[in-house]
Structure 1
Amino acid sequence: MSVDGYYARIEYNSDTDLFRGEILGLSGGADFYGANPDELRQEFKKSLDVFLEVCKEQGIEPRRQFSGKFNLRIPPELHEQLAMAAEAQGKSLNALAQETLQKSVTA
């Protein structure tokens, strides 16, 4: 679910018989609850608005900042296979990984 360019993960809680949303990529935590999609969207918007207002008041950047770097642990055999595949395509391992990761979020 998304609102104003922000995304949330939604899970069902059988104890409360409600759906719980957690807004992703924030510099802090913000969640919301609803019984149906319309209610979830309304509560998402309210929770986001409150979070953004608090950030503004406290001078905090609302979105978590990412460096563009992360470590990936894979088996040595897979590392070797990927390095060979990249070399065969005339690419760096980083370029191959970046293209593959990009496909996973745009497909």
Structure 2
Amino acid sequence: MLFHGEVAGIRDVVTFQARTAEDLRKAFEDSVDDYLDFCRNENVEPQKPFSGTLSLRTSPELHQRIAAAAARRSASINQWIVETLERQATADLDHGTTSVR
């Protein structure tokens, strides 16, 4: 019997394991410390979890269309974009889409 975990939200793979739940936190902390030491030794920036903030550039025409679509749903532009991206990301992941558009 073994508890196993992985740091989520980064592309690098940082795993940890322990035989007891009590030891799992220490194993996690040790793995993160090892990862940070590795990054320092290799002179690379450690990856950080996604912030949830995106910067988006588009044409003024598309910006206007997005604003109109959001207004039609009584939503903010941000809310409309988040909902639209969520639907599309879910559809792409559910259908195994691998191409980047």
Q: Under a length normalisation based on structure 1, what TM-score does the superposition of the two structures give?
A: 0.49
Distance 1:86 1:35 in 2: 54
Identify the residue that residue 68 of structure 1 maps to in structure 2.
54
Q: Deviations over 1:58-98 (max 9, x none)?
A: 111111575837xxxxxxxxxxxxx9776231433x42353
**1:20 equivalent in alignment to 2:15:** no
**Matched-pair contact (CA < 8 Å) for 1:27–1:62:** no
Q: Which of residues 26, 36, 51 is equivalent to 1:52?
A: 36
What's the CA shift string for 1:23-80, capped at 9, x where partnerless? Answer: 12334211111122221001001111001000011111111575837xxxxxxxxxxx
Taking every aligned residue pair, what percent have the same amino acid on both sides? 30
Aligned 8 A contact 1:18 1:34 in 2: yes
Distance in 1 between residues matched to 2:9 and 2:34, nearest whole Å: 16
2:58 matched to which residue of 1? none
In the aligned structure 2, how far is the partner of 1:58 from the partner of 1:45? 20
User: How many residues are treated as equivalent by the alignment?
Assistant: 70
Aligned amino acid, residue 54 of structure 2: G
| Structure 1 unaligned spans of 5+ | 1-16, 70-82, 102-107
1:95 aligned onto 2:95? no
Larger helix percent: 2
Unmatched 5+ stretches in structure 2: 56-67, 87-101
> Computing the radius of gyration over CA atoms, which structure comes out larger, 1 or 2?
2
Tell me if the contact between 2:8 and 2:49 (Cα under 8 Å) persists in the aligned partners.
no
Q: Could you say which structure has the higher strand fraction?
A: 1
Does the C-alpha gap of structure 1 residues 85 and 27 become closer, same or farther in structure 2, counting only changes over 3 Å?
A: closer
2:10–2:47 Cα contact (<8 Å) kept: yes
SS in 2 for 1:43: helix
